[in-house]
């Protein structure tokens, strides 16, 4: 076991409240491409940041709708990986673990994590683009049409936060409360470039929390962390769970 992993495990075991922020890297080993990965196939010519915006949807709703339909299928076929499962295991043995995710794939919930704070929404939910109420997509929706809200007739859209859109108030408040109250905040699989999610680590530190990062690569957060575990979440999180479980309180 590496020294930093043993130290982080000991810190986890002693913490009354742990805050976790996950990013696309945690779902990478489930086959869900990260935002920094190049898109594949027919989406290769597009950048995610250019499609995940209200302007893109207004300009070409069918293109954006099809991109999300492709991602929904990819996510539905994906399975939680060992990293997702280990995080659910840590939540079960620690006094309090608040999980904030930037991911919209629902894999943490499918792995058994509870009370997941979906900071950027969830791709499996579809809402009216005007009323924002959840709507189920009619099965007989033609593939060359964006379905419309049965209530008001407006276009339907994925229940995710696009660039330039505000984080849902409940998620923003819950994440802010957790980050401010935790003693240890761990950023896992995130490039720490998307705000305001990336600011949660600083909020935690300003309130006295120790910071840790689990990522194969350095990020803008790395220099401000107390613990750094360089590697993938599917390898390091099970090892961390095992190390924490081995420490008798």
Task: Note the residues at the interface with ligand BV8 (CB under 6 A).
Answer: 23-25, 28-29, 34-36, 49, 52, 102-104, 120, 160-166, 189-191, 193-196, 215-217, 219, 232-234
47 catalytic residue (yes or no):
no
Local structure of residue 165 (DSSP, 8 states) = S
Choosing from 17, 108, 120, 195, the catalytic residue is 120
The partner residues of 156 in beta bridges, in order of sequence, read 128
Q: Closer to ligand BV8 at the Cβ: 160 or 241?
A: 160
Cβ at position 103, least distance to ligand BV8 in Å: 6
Residue 229 token pair: 């575990």
**Separation CA 34–CA 23 (nearest Å):** 8
Give CA 85 to chain center in angstroms.
14
The minimum distance between CB 95 and ligand BV8, in angstroms, equals 25
Cβ nearer to ligand BV8, comparing 50 with 142:
50
| Token pair belonging to 159 | 């229940």
CB of 106 to ligand BV8, least distance (A): 12
* Partners of residue 121 on adjacent β-strands: 160
Q: Residue with the closest Cβ to ligand BV8?
A: 25
Please tell me what DSSP assigns to residue 108. H
Please identify, using beta-carbon distances, which residue of 43 and 226 lies nearer to ligand BV8: 43
147 φ, ψ (degrees, to nearest 5): -65, 155
Q: Which of the residues are catalytic?
A: 120
């Amino acid at each position: 076991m590496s020294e930093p992993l043993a130290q982080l495990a000991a810190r986890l075991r002693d913490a009354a409240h742990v805050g976790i922020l996950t990013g696309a890297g945690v779902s990478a080993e489930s086959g869900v491409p990260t935002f920094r990965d190049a898109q594949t196939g027919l989406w290769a010519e597009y950048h995610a940041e250019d499609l995940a915006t209200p302007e893109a949807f207004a300009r070409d709703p069918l293109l954006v709708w099809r991109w999300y339909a492709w991602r929904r299928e990819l996510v539905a076929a994906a399975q939680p990986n060992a990293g997702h499962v280990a995080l659910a295991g840590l939540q079960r043995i620690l006094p309090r673990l608040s999980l904030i995710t930037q991911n919209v794939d629902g894999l943490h919930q499918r792995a058994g994590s509870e009370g997941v704070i979906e900071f950027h929404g969830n791709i499996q939910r579809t809402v009216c683009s005007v009323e924002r109420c959840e709507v189920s997509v009619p099965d007989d929706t033609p593939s060359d049409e964006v379905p419309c809200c049965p209530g008001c007739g407006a276009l339907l859209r994925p229940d995710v936060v696009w660039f330039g859109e505000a984080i849902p108030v409940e998620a923003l408040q819950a994440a802010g409360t957790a980050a401010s109250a935790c003693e240890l905040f761990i950023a896992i699989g995130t490039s720490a470039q998307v705000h305001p999610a990336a600011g949660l680590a600083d909020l935690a530190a300003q309130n006295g929390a120790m910071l840790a990062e689990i990522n194969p690569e350095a990020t803008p957060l790395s220099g401000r962390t107390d613990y750094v575990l360089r590697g993938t979440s599917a390898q390091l999180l099970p090892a961390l769970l095992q190390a924490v479980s081995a420490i008798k309180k």
